Amino acid sequence: MPHAATLTLAGTHVADRIRTALPDAIRSASADIVTLEPASAFEAMRFLRDDEELDGKFLVQMCSVDMITHIDLVYHFASLAQNHIFEVKVPADHEHPEVPSISPLWSGAILQEREIYDLMGVKFPGHPELTRLFLWESFPGHPLRKDFMSMPGGRKSGLSQFPKQVAGETGQEFRPAAPGTGE
Amino acid sequence: MTMLLSLLTIVTDNWWDIRDLSNVSGAVLDIIDDLGGPAWLIYIVSALLGTLAIISFIGGVAIINIWVERRVVGRMQSRLGPNRLGPFGLLQPIADAIKLMQKEVLQPKSAPGLIFTLAPIMFTIPGIAMMAVLPWGRNMSLANVDVGILYILGLSSLGALAVFMAGYSSNNKYALFGSMRVIAMLVSYEIPIVLSLLGIVLFTGTMNPQGIVLFQEHYWSLMILLQPLAFIIYFFSVSAELNRTPADIAEAESEIVGGYHTEYSGMKFGLFYAAELINAVAVSAIISTLFLGGWWAYKLDEIVPGWMIYIGKIYTVYFVFVWTRGTLPRFRIDQLLAFAWKWLTPMALLNIVMVSAEVTIWEESGLSAGIVLPIYMVINTAAAGAIIYAFVRFLAPKFERFPTQLRFYSNIDVPSLPAVAAPPDRAKVSV
Amino acid sequence: MPIKSEPVEVNIGPQHPSTHGVFRMVAKIDGERIVDVKMIVGYLHRSMEKLAEERTFTQNIPFTDRMDYLAAMSGNLGYCLSVEKLAGVEVPERAQYLRVIFAELQRVASHCMATGAFINDCGAWQTPVMYAFRDREKVLDLFEMTCGARLTTNYMRIGGVAFDIPDEFLPALDRLINDDLPFRFEEYDQLLVGNEIIMMRARDVGMVSPEMAINASLSGPLLRSAGIAWDIRKADPYCVYDRMQFDIPVGYNGDAYDRMCIRIEEMKQSLRIIRQAVHDLPGGPHKTDVPLAIRPPAGEAYSRVESPKGELGFYVVSDGGPAPYRWHVRAPSLINLSVLREMTIGKSIADAIVTLGSIDINVGELDR
């Protein structure tokens, strides 16, 4: 029987379940977030799609977050039959981000991966046609990255970053605080 | 001086007699004769007068029908239609025409100029020329041609050629698709058109449109009652040939943008637009002549001038065309061609068999028309109903395998699906 | 001797009467049959996700109007829900009921538009669009009465709604949902649902199987037409949908015709919800006091609503500042298009147009 309202699975529960099949696939797990090892992410996702208990047949959405030190790919999976939802993250390198494509598993990921490639610059090996989705091919840079179009002196136009962290006129490169360390 | 006197005579003697406009032209010809004009001049002038009358009628129709169509369709679409310019928006078509004339006529660089320019003109001619053989009153026929129906059939397929010229010369893929579709439709729909008119020719024994009207007057019976099946077939087939919904696949706006006239602009497009209306009116005129009795309407034509009755009938049929256009969605091309071959052609053949049998019985038995024709009316109407019902019963697309009702769930319910295989490989393009 | 032929490439769009905006399909066509379809989007890309990072949470609400401009209220609602989830804001009862009323009215407006445009794509000459516009206008009149805008409403706020309804709203709404629209939907039933030509055009066109639908993350009427009873309003009730009685219409075949019927049925169900919401509408404030420059605690939240197009999700990451650190929109219009290629290959151009019309994309939401 499906749950009456969507149940959000605890990250530790998901991690435990994945560990039964792929012991090395989990990098870290907390109550909210499961972080997968990028190297075995594809296998882990195949497992959580086909697993009976996790049953993540429905890829709700995927997106990317620039965390300055790295880029997080955020996947939300749902089981329509059991009506639960859980979140999985895959970290990628900031300079040369590369995450295996999951479009062989979910055809709904094809366009979303193209969007992420376009706006965040994450490459997806295994994607059938990894071209830019919204912008034209020669567009410089990837707009959703935090260092896109930073102003002279390292200033950013962002509201949250702009006010106080530009310390001194030294011209040192500005790096906004990672989430969680803000005020 | 003599001329003026004769003109005065027309005005005084015949000014009230608008029942037969041929009187006017007759008077003009009399003047020429009185003045001692040679016979060939009279001949030429009489032809010119008729041509002038028809061209001015067609010109007026092209202007007025823009208003009629927009207004009628507007009402059907629960809006007002043009109502700002002049009383009831009557001047709107003139504003439209001025706008079209002022616009720049663009022509694709790679288009063959001659064909590109000729196409809209070619498209306009058949509609006007078709009117020549149609009778407007007892004596009002510009050309009383004995093979009038052949002439009409020949001209009506010329329009498709013009469309093909336009589509081919535009050097545009959409236009090419449009013209391809037109040719496919022409091949399919010419046959039911010819076959359905053949039934009338068999019944009346003449190919002269005036003769057909006189037959209907003589036997006091409308052809639509004697040949209901032929009427239905003809009506649907010409609406396909006219490119009107539900069969406007040649210019299917939602699919291939404008079809053959995608690349046309300015007055060249205006000609296409006007010719579409002219053709619709010409076809309505043919239908009212052959099926609805033309200028004759039982006793009514003794009070009202025949040409007024005729125009009234034309606009009644035209209204039905506008009505279908405002109501029905479009068929797909394969469905439309299948409809011609699988439905209309066999039905028309059945109709011919029936008519031949009826005419033979009528001639052999020697019964009077007063008895035979009402019986035929009843039989043919019943047969038309039965044939159409049978075709619908056995040939209509069946949707039984699809449940028509939706299911309703008050809670979410997702069937447990098997593990899904990998999505198809997009990198491969299957050609 | 076989005739040598090669497929022709035809650009359907970006300027085409039935691409519903600036959407481009590059179709490889062999005769009338489509061999391959490539979609090119981005003509309306306004980079809203980036712009949102430089504006406060409240300033971002108008962006959600401009995304799905045919369903602005649903966009407002989804975004506000996600921020409220992140910041832990309680929404007063009255506001929740008002949100339900307006979201459902918006669904009626959007489905009207979708149905009309779909029949127009089937080739009817403007009439269905005009009928649909007539009914949609009446809904938009109510929006105008309440918040002053018809299309880009900007009505929901974090912690409630911007304005309470005016006095003349409820009588007008009552007239609309009890006298006017039920009659119109009956008309739709008579004109469209049993229409033979529409059946011929839309049956077996744009087929989507349940497996394909789930694998491609489809949502909304597209998913329900495939025979899956899934509706976020039932599965993950937000606002007060768990107190409402309504049904999910579900199709059998997953074709374009089923989707049209589902849209018409959903409009009727929306009226049912609105009637209940109006009946139970409590008094009280329409908005909690939330600072204009709200600073949610650092963290992330994903919340979703059933917009007329499908599952509209908002993923918001906050670093504790007044602006979102990252704001991602799960746009149903974009994701529903992932099956376009599978649906159209092997069919004719006319079918491809009907399929695209039945998916009901909105380019503003697609490109963001």
Write out chain C residues lying below 8 Å of B411, CB-based: 229, 234
Q: Per-residue b/e over C242-255, b at no fewer than 16 CB within 10 Å? A: eebebbbbbbbbbb
| Domain annotation covers residue A154 | yes
Return residues 250-269 of B near C (CB < 8 Å). Answer: 252-257
Is the pLDDT at B326 greater than 70? The verdict is yes
Q: Do A103 and B412 touch (CB under 8 A)?
A: no
Task: Select the residue from C34, C125, C233 to test the B interface by mutation, using most B Cβ atoms within 10 A.
Answer: C125
In a domain, A72, yes or no: yes
Confidence label for A169 from pLDDT (cuts 50, 70 and 90): very low
**CB pair distance less than 8 Å for C251 and B333:** no
Number of H helices, E strands in chain C: 16, 9
Q: How many CB pairs lie under 8 A apart between chains A and C?
A: 131
At B200-237, the pLDDT tens digits run: 898 888 888 888 888 888 888 888 888 888 999 999 88
Please indicate if any CB of chain A lies within 8 Å of the CB of C49: yes
Pairing assessment for the beta strands A70-79 and C248-250 based on DSSP bridges: unpaired
- In this predicted structure, the answer to whether residue B39 has a pLDDT above a threshold of 60 is yes
Which of A2, A76, A144 shows the shortest C-beta gap to C302? A76
Residue-number span of the structural domain to which C333 is assigned: 8-367
Q: Do B245 and C124 touch (CB under 8 A)?
A: yes
Q: Is residue B319 a contact partner of residue B282, using CB atoms and an 8 Å limit?
A: no
Task: Report the domain count for chain A.
Answer: 1
Check residues B392 and B405 and name the one with the higher pLDDT. Answer: B392
Q: Does C5 touch chain B (CB under 8 A)?
A: no
B-chain residues near A131 (CB < 8 A): none
Question: Is the pLDDT at B398 greater than 80, yes or no?
Answer: no
Residue C152: give its domain's CATH number.
1.10.645.10
pLDDT at B405 over 80: no
In the predicted model, what is the mean pLDDT of chain C?
Answer: 87
Q: pLDDT tens for residues B335-353? A: 888 888 888 899 899 999 9
Nearest by CB: A158 against C53, C298, C313? C53
pLDDT (tens digit per residue) in C45-85: 888 888 888 888 888 899 988 888 888 899 999 999 999 98
Pairwise CB contact (< 8 Å): B416 & A2: no
Compute the average pLDDT of residues B57-62: 85
Residue A145 lies in a domain: yes
**Of the candidates C66, C70, C78, C75, which has an alpha carbon nearest to the alpha carbon of residue C114?**
C70
Tokens of B370: 């007063």
Q: Is residue C3 part of a domain?
A: no
pTM confidence score: 0.84
pLDDT surpasses 70 at B45:
yes
Q: What is the mean pLDDT of residues C322-328?
A: 86
Looking at every residue in chain B, the average pLDDT score rounds to 82
What's the rounded Cα separation, in Å, for the pair A28 and A15? 8
Task: Say whether B414 and A2 touch across the interface (CB within 8 A).
Answer: yes
- pLDDT number for residue B10: 56
In angstroms and rounded to an integer, the radius of gyration of the C-alpha atoms of chain C is 21
DSSP labels for C110-126? HHHHHHHHHHHHTT--S
| Per-residue pLDDT reduced to its tens digit, A9-63 | 777 888 888 888 888 778 887 888 888 888 888 888 888 888 878 888 888 989 8
Average pLDDT rounded to a whole number, residues B92-105: 86
pLDDT over 70 percentage in chain C: 100
Q: Of C28, C121, C199, which has the smallest distance from its Cβ to B399's Cβ?
A: C199
Query: Residue B415: its chain A contacts at CB < 8 A?
Result: 81
Check CB contact under 8 Å for A159 and C321: yes
What pLDDT sits at residue B423? 53
| pLDDT computed for residue B2 by the predictor | 66
Looking at CA atoms only, how far is residue A3 from chain B in angstroms? 10
Q: Which residues of B touch A84 (CB under 8 A)?
A: none
Q: What is the mean pLDDT of residues B409-413?
A: 75
CA-to-CA distance for C299 and C288, rounded, in angstroms? 22
Q: What pLDDT, on the 0 to 100 scale, is given for residue B15?
A: 47
Select from C16, C234, C261 the Cβ nearest to the Cβ of B412.
C234
CATH of the domain at A102: 3.30.460.80
Mean pLDDT, rounded, for A135-148: 80
Lowest-confidence pick of A137-151, B112-126, B330-344, C276-290? A137-151
ipTM score for this prediction:
0.85
Predicted local distance difference test score (pLDDT) of residue A165 = 42
Is it the case that residue C342 has pLDDT exceeding 50?
Answer: yes
Domain total for chain C? 1
Query: Which pLDDT tens digit goes with each residue over B64-79?
Result: 888 888 888 888 888 8
- Whether A164 has a pLDDT exceeding 50, the answer reads no
pLDDT tens, B240-263? 888 877 777 777 777 777 778 888
Residue A181, domain member (yes or no)? no
Q: Where are the domains of chain B?
A: 109-397
- Output DSSP code: residue B85: S
Stretch C317-326: mean pLDDT: 84
CA distances from B102 to B89, B91, B262 (A): 21, 17, 19
- Separation CA C331–CA C329 (nearest Å): 6
- The answer to whether residue A116 sits within a structural domain is yes
- Report the candidate in B313, B311, B314 with the shortest Cα–Cα distance to residue B18: B311
Q: What percent of chain C has pLDDT over 90?
A: 8
Cα–Cα dist C144/C151, whole Å: 9
A129 touches chain B (CB under 8 A): yes
Distances (CA, A) of A25 to A14, A43, A71, B45, B349: 12, 8, 18, 98, 75
List chain A residues with CB under 8 Å of C317: 65, 179
Would you say residue C11 has pLDDT above 70? Answer: yes
Q: Do the domain assignments include residue A2?
A: no
User: Mean pLDDT across chain A, nearest whole number?
Assistant: 77
A160 pLDDT above the threshold of 60? no
Nearest CA in chain C to B325: C125
What is the pLDDT confidence band of residue A159, given thresholds at 50, 70 and 90?
A: very low
Q: Which residues of C touch B173 (CB under 8 A)?
A: 8, 10
Q: Which of residues 304-333 of C touch A (CB under 8 A)?
A: 304, 311, 313, 315, 317-323, 325-326, 328, 330
Query: What pLDDT digit, counting tens, does each position of B273-301 carry?
Result: 888 888 888 999 999 998 988 888 887 77
Is B414 in contact with A106 (Cβ distance < 8 A)? no
Identify the domain containing residue A46 by its residue range.
7-174
